[in-house]
């Protein structure tokens, strides 16, 4: 049995946004972190490992430096990593990304007892589309917005947190779950984990490795396979510090002084 | 000298910072104000492998390195001096001498539990009448049948109130030196908290590191089995001095962390605090103070890291000593910590003197680093001793 966790390296929201001339983001120039919801997905997988001893595989699509993130996730307890990386994959939107990730997950192999975990959404695009799209393309049942997961045999009982309430449902493995921050508290990297993570296996899947999968066609991946067109990316202008007023009278006074009323 | 951190060290530093920010910093004020020993934090550190960072995984350690350990003490001390010294005393003064001098049985019995944080460690050398002065030692250990029986007391023992395992130095033999004068020979022992005749006395009421548990130890016919002798009989004082060489790297890292933490707080404060219509960061006095403090802190940092890397060479089997490097690191880092925290309080002005801000706590915490595990004067004796040999 194994848990496959799909993760994404995203720009650190503390840092600045760099934009390429074509309007897309220049990720190589930006500080990065692991997408926060994906850490909840990893934690869910590691909890399953604590209970059942299952294998935890982390998979990401990104440029070669994304290996650093995978190693950190192995330092938290993942057993091995898969880095999906190739020029052909560059510029993918959510549709193309999920084609590629689904092919990668296929190559890792989803057994009858396996669970695929994703974060709910990435803090850069905020689409929440890739997880559900992977499930559709792999013909796996999906449960989104998981706030609690219990496993008994091949059945998971998942509590979904929705805007106006909860929904609890049961799903059989294999399945795909998208996780929210309320699900758990991600663990820290451990020191033995840090000092052994570079000895753990890491595979790189390039275009050659995935091209035989029916999901991978030149017009389903990369910029060419992406129906989304980015019009413009930019850093929102910095606003000056506001001013707290203590009464309506004070506010009216200020507006009056500026001849606005 | 190359100070580039390895990938693992960079990762560990990131983890220490996250842990310190989320788990240690929120408790620091309470730990100081209520003299609260942060035992929950110790348990968390144990679970993450922080209580045995540089020991190999075969003996229960985390398989890290000495610099990574020093950085852990540094990062904890940056937000809480108490947490830093709990980690340092446990690792350097208890687990390290067992790892370096223990028999295979002693290592197997003590190291896994010390490294996992299940057991906390402490070290007892100082007595009311003797610290670094070997001949002043009064605690005695006598062989009685299959046991050692210890009598005497130790003072100022860090971690004492919560420790399970203690390294105790006691006089076991007396010989005549070349001129016919009596010479005391010490030995080191592993004493467990539950051993008969062993008692932990009252905690000290201290100026700083107030959450750290500092107590007296009393041994009245404290009886322990023969196999608790650590290292060679009669060589206990040398063992203690070698242990303190390692300990000083930990304390130097603590001092470094306290100084860096004070600078973190001060940089944030001077940007906020306004006087004469401007943030005080805009005044050149503030800028020059900050610049000089930063340069001094970085200088101390290189000494601390160099000492840690030298100890690592010794751990790797090289025949090198690091007493002088450790003494230099502690002398300069502790002096820097005291100096920097005092100047930071000055930049805070009246607010810095209140307990609403952490800066006065950092100034109080800094002072001890010039005193324990050998005062600054002792460090200068070590350094000049090597120069004038």
- Chain B residue with CA closest to A188: the answer is B15
Q: Return the active site residues of B.
A: 373
Nearest to B59 by CA among B111, B100, B103: B111
> What pLDDT was estimated at residue A30?
81
> Between B14, B48, B68, which is nearest A190 by CB?
B48
> What pLDDT was estimated at residue B130?
84
Least Cα separation, residue B57 to chain A (angstroms): 8
> What pLDDT was estimated at residue B165?
98
pLDDT tier at A219, thresholds 50, 70, 90: confident
H/E element holding A178? strand A175-179
B141: which residues sit within 8 A by CB, 6+ positions away? B148, B149, B150, B151, B170, B171, B172, B187, B189
In this prediction the pTM is 0.92
- Chain A residue with CA closest to B15: the answer is A189
| CATH number given to A2-257 | 3.40.50.620
pLDDT by residue for chain B (389 residues), tens digit each? 788 999 999 999 999 999 999 999 999 999 999 999 999 999 999 999 999 999 999 999 999 999 999 999 999 999 999 999 999 999 999 999 999 999 999 999 999 999 999 999 999 999 988 877 778 899 999 999 999 999 999 999 999 999 999 999 999 999 998 998 999 999 999 999 999 999 999 999 999 999 999 999 999 999 999 999 999 999 999 999 999 999 999 999 999 999 999 999 999 999 999 999 999 999 999 999 999 999 999 999 999 999 999 999 999 999 999 999 999 999 999 999 999 999 999 999 999 999 999 999 999 999 999 999 999 999 999 999 999 98
Q: Is A190 on the interface with B (CB under 8 A)?
A: yes
Residues of B in contact with A192 (CB under 8 A): 49, 57, 62-63
Q: Would you call A188 and B18 a contact, using CB atoms and an 8 Å cutoff?
A: yes
Please tell me whether the interface predicted TM-score (ipTM) of this complex is above 0.95: no
pLDDT tier at A27, thresholds 50, 70, 90: confident
Taking the CA atoms of chain A, what radius of gyration do you get in angstroms?
A: 21
Q: At residue A6, does pLDDT exceed 80?
A: yes
Q: Would you call A188 and B64 a contact, using CB atoms and an 8 Å cutoff?
A: no
Burial label for B202, CB within 10 Å (0-12, 13-18, 19+), is exposed
Q: Would you call A75 and B18 a contact, using CB atoms and an 8 Å cutoff?
A: no
Quick one: residue B35, left, alpha or beta (phi over 0 = left, psi -120 to 50 = alpha)?
left
Domain chopping of chain A, boundaries: 2-257
Q: Is A46 on the interface with B (CB under 8 A)?
A: no
> Between B14, B18, B48, which is nearest A191 by CB?
B48
Least Cα separation, residue A62 to chain B (angstroms): 20
Least Cα separation, residue A187 to chain B (angstroms): 9
Distances (CA, A) of B341 to B74, B83, B361: 15, 18, 9
Buried b (16+ CB within 10 A) or exposed e, A98-123: bbbbbbbbbbbebeebbbbbbbbbbb
Q: Is A194 on the interface with B (CB under 8 A)?
A: yes
Q: Would you call B68 and A191 a contact, using CB atoms and an 8 Å cutoff?
A: yes
Q: Would you call B15 and A198 a contact, using CB atoms and an 8 Å cutoff?
A: no
Q: At residue A90, does pLDDT exceed 90?
A: no
């Amino acid at each position: 049995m194994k848990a496959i966790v799909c993760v994404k390296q995203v720009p650190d929201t503390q840092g600045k946004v760099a934009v390429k001339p074509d309007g897309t983001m220049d990720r190589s120039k930006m500080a990065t972190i692991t997408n926060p919801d994906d850490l909840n997905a990893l934690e869910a997988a590691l909890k399953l490992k604590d209970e059942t001893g299952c294998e935890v595989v982390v998979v990401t699509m990104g440029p070669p430096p994304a290996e650093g993130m995978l190693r950190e996730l192995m330092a938290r307890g993942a057993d091995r990593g898969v880095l999906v990386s190739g020029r052909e994959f560059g510029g993918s939107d959510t549709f193309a990304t999920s084609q590629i990730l689904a092919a990668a997950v296929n190559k890792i192999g989803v057994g009858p007892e396996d669970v695929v975990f994703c974060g709910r959404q990435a803090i850069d695009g905020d689409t929440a589309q890739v997880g559900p799209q992977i499930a559709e393309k792999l013909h796996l049942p999906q449960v989104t917005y998981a706030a609690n997961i219990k496993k008994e045999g091949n059945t998971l009982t998942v509590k979904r947190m929705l805007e106006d309430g909860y929904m609890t449902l049961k799903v059989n493995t294999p399945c795909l779950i998208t996780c929210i921050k309320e699900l758990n508290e991600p663990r820290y990297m451990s020191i033995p984990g840090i000092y052994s993570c570079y000895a753990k296996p890491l595979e790189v899947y390039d275009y050659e490795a995935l091209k035989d999968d029916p999901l991978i066609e030149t017009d389903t991946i990369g910029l060419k396979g992406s129906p989304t067109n980015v019009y413009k990316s930019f850093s929102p202008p910095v606003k000056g510090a506001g001013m707290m007023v203590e009464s309506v009278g004070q506010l009216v006074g200020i507006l009056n002084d500026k001849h606005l009323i | 000298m190359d100070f580039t951190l390895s990938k693992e060290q960079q990762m560990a530093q990131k983890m220490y910072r996250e842990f310190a920010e989320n788990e240690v910093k929120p408790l620091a004020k309470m730990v100081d104000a209520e003299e609260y020993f942060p035992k929950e934090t110790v348990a968390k550190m144990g679970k993450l492998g922080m209580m045995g960072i540089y020991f190999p995984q075969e003996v229960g350690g985390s398989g890290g390195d000495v610099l990574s350990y020093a950085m852990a003490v540094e990062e904890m001390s940056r937000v809480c001096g108490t947490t830093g010294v709990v980690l340092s005393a446990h690792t350097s003064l208890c687990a390290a001498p067992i790892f370096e001098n223990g028999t295979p049985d002693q290592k197997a019995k003590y190291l896994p539990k010390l490294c996992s944080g299940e057991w906390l460690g402490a070290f007892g050398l100082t007595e009311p009448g003797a610290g670094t002065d070997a001949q002043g030692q009064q605690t005695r250990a006598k062989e009685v049948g299959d046991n050692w029986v210890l009598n005497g007391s130790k003072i100022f023992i860090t971690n004492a109130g919560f420790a399970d395992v203690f390294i105790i130095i006691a006089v076991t033999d007396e010989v005549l030196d070349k001129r016919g004068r009596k010479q005391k020979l010490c030995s080191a022992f592993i004493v467990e908290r539950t051993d008969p005749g062993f008692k932990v006395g009252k905690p000290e009421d201290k100026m700083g590191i107030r959450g750290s548990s500092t107590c007296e130890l009393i041994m009245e016919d404290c009886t322990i089995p023969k196999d608790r002798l650590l290292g060679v009989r009669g060589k206990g004082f040398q063992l203690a001095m070698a242990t303190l060489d390692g300990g000083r790297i930990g304390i130097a890292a603590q001092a470094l962390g306290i100084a860096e933490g004070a600078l973190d707080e001060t940089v944030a404060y001077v940007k906020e605090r306004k006087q004469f219509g401007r943030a005080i960061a805009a005044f050149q006095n503030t800028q020059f103070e900050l610049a000089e403090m930063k340069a001094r802190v970085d200088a101390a940092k290189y000494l601390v890291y160099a000492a840690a890397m030298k100890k690592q060479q010794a751990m790797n089997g090289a025949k090198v000593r690091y007493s002088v490097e450790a003494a230099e690191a502690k002398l300069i880092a502790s002096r820097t910590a005291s100096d920097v925290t005092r100047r930071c309080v000055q930049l805070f002005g009246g607010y810095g003197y209140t307990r609403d801000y952490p800066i006065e706590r950092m100034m109080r915490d800094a002072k001890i680093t010039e005193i324990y595990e050998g005062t600054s004067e002792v460090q200068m004796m070590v350094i000049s001793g090597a120069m004038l040999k």
